[in-house]
Amino acid sequence: MVDTEGEGETMRTICTAQEAKSRLSNFKDREFRQFQEDVIEFTTESKRRFKIVKARTGFGKSLAAMVCGVMVGDVTYLVQSKYLQEQITNDFPEVSTVFGRNNYTCAANPDKTCELCLATKTNPCKANCPYKLAKENAMAASYRCMNFSYFISEVQFAGRFSGNPFTIVDEADALENTLLNNVALVFTERNLYRLGLQDGPKRKTSTSNSGLDSWKSFGEEALEQSTYEYKRIEKEIAQIDPVNEDLLLSKMKEMKTFVHIAEKAQIFLNNMDEHWVYEEVPRYGSRQAQYIFKPTWLSPELSNEFLFRHSDSWLLISATFLPMVVLCKQLGIDQDEIDYMEVPSTFDPERSPVHVWPVANLTSAKMKEETPKLIKAIKIILSWHKGERGLMHTVSYKLCKEIMEGVNSYRLITHDSDNRKDIMGEFQDEYSGLPEDAVLVSPSAERGISLDGDKCRFIICCKMPFLSLGDKVVSARLYGGGDIGKLWYRADAMTTVEQQAGRGMRGEEDRVVTYLLDYQIEKVYEQNPLLWSEAFRDSVTWGENELLAEMEKVNW
Instruction: Estimate the crossing angle of helix 208-239 against helix 245-271, to 10 degrees.
Output: 150
Ramachandran category for residue 74: left, alpha or beta (phi over 0 → left; psi -120 to 50 → alpha): beta
Q: What is the pLDDT of residues 28-81, one digit of tens each?
A: 999 999 999 999 999 999 999 999 999 987 788 999 999 999 999 999 999 988
Residues 310 and 291 in one domain: no
pLDDT of 285 = 66
Question: Is 363 a domain residue?
Answer: yes
Residue 286 confidence class, pLDDT cut points 50, 70, 90? low
| Full domain range(s) for residue 226 | 184-295
Higher pLDDT, 5 or 341: 341
- Of 282, 308, 342, the domain-final residue: 342
**Domain C-terminal end among 342, 373, 408:** 342
Name the CA dihedral angle for 277, 278, 281, 287, rounded to a multiple of 10 degrees: 110
CATH classification at residue 332: 3.40.50.300
Boundary residue ending a domain (280, 295, 310): 295
Asked if residue 371 lies in contact with residue 462, where contact means CB atoms within 8 angstroms, the answer is no
Q: Are residues 117 and 212 in the same domain?
A: no
Q: Is 219 found in the same domain as 249?
A: yes
pLDDT at 208: 44
Task: Give domain status of residue 5, yes or no.
Answer: no
- CA angle, corner 200, sides to 197 and 202, nearest 5? 125
C-alpha distances out from residue 102 to 105, 117, 326, Å? 8, 10, 35
Whether 228 is in a domain gets the answer: yes
Q: Kindly state the percentage of the chain with pLDDT values over 90.
A: 69
The per-residue pLDDT for range 500-535, each reduced to its tens digit, is 998 988 778 889 999 999 999 999 999 999 999 988
User: Is residue 242 over pLDDT 90?
Assistant: no
Per-residue pLDDT at 329: 95
Q: Are 227 and 262 in contact (CB under 8 A)?
A: yes
Position 4 confidence tier, pLDDT thresholds 50, 70, 90: very low
Residues 290, 317, single domain; the answer is no
Same domain, 386 and 495: yes
Q: Give the span between the Cα atoms of 513 and 319, in whole angstroms.
A: 18
This prediction's pTM = 0.85
> How many structural domains comprise the chain?
3
Assess whether pLDDT exceeds 70 at residue 414: yes
What per-residue confidence (pLDDT) applies to 5? 47
Output the CA angle 1-16-141, nearest 5 degrees: 65
Strands (E), 4-142: 50-54, 75-79, 96-97
First to last CA, the chain: 65
Who wins on pLDDT, 117 or 381? Answer: 381
Query: Any alpha helices (H) in 188-311, and if so which ranges?
Result: 189-194, 208-239, 245-271, 300-306
Do 289 and 304 belong together in one domain? no
Of 1-10, 78-87, 293-302, 350-359, the least confident = 1-10
In a domain, 9, yes or no: no
Say whether both 462 and 547 belong to one domain: yes
**The predicted structure's pLDDT at residue 289:** 85
73 inside domain: yes
State the greatest distance between any 2 C-alpha atoms of the chain, in Å, as a whole number: 77
361 and 505 within one domain: yes
148 and 275, same domain (yes or no): no
Position 509 in a domain = yes
1 lies in a domain? Answer: no
As a whole number of angstroms, the distance between CA 276 and CA 184 comes to 10
pLDDT band at 206 (very low <50, low <70, confident <90, very high): very low
Please give the angle made by the CA atoms of 229, 233 and 234, to the nearest 5 degrees: 115
Model confidence at 332: pLDDT above 80: yes
pLDDT bin (cut points 50, 70, 90) of residue 371 is very high
**Mean local confidence (pLDDT), 401-429:** 92
pLDDT at 210: 53
Residue of 256, 100, 277 lying closest to 184 (CA atoms): 277
Please count the other Cβ atoms lying within 10 Å of the Cβ belonging to residue 311.
23
Verify that 280 and 321 share a domain, yes or no. Answer: no
Residues 409, 533 share a domain: yes
In this predicted structure, the answer to whether residue 262 has a pLDDT above a threshold of 50 is: yes
Q: How remote is the C-alpha of 169 from its chain's centroid?
A: 11
The 3-state DSSP class for residue 146 equals strand
Confidence of residue 204 (pLDDT cuts 50, 70, 90): very low
Q: What is the mean pLDDT of the chain?
A: 90
Residues 6 or more apart from 318 whose CB is under 8 A from it? Answer: 54, 61, 170, 171, 172, 173, 174
Q: Is 413 helix (H, G, I), strand (E, B) or coil?
A: strand
CB atoms within 10 A of CB 232: 11
Task: Return the higher-pLDDT residue of 22 and 544.
Answer: 22
Same domain, yes or no, for 306 and 231?
no
State residue 209's pLDDT score.
Answer: 45
pLDDT above 70 (res 431): yes
Read off the pLDDT of residues 92-129 as tens digits, 9 standing for 90 and up.
999 999 999 999 998 888 888 888 887 777 777 777 89
Nearest Cα residue to 428 out of 13, 14, 87: 87
Mean pLDDT calculated for residue range 127-136: 91
**Mean pLDDT of the region 154-174:** 89
Between CA 255 and CA 257, with CA 256 as vertex, the angle to 5 degrees is 90
**pLDDT value, residue 58:** 75
In a domain, 310, yes or no: yes
pLDDT over 70 for what percent of the chain? 96
Dihedral angle of Cα 548, 551, 552, 556, to the nearest 10 degrees: -160
Q: Is the dihedral of CA 256, 262, 265, 270 positive or negative?
A: negative
Tell me if residue 58 falls in helix, strand or coil. Answer: coil
Burial (CB < 10 A; 0-12, 13-18, 19+), residue 100, is middle
Rounded distance between C-alpha atoms, residue 449 and residue 392, angstroms:
13
DSSP 481: S
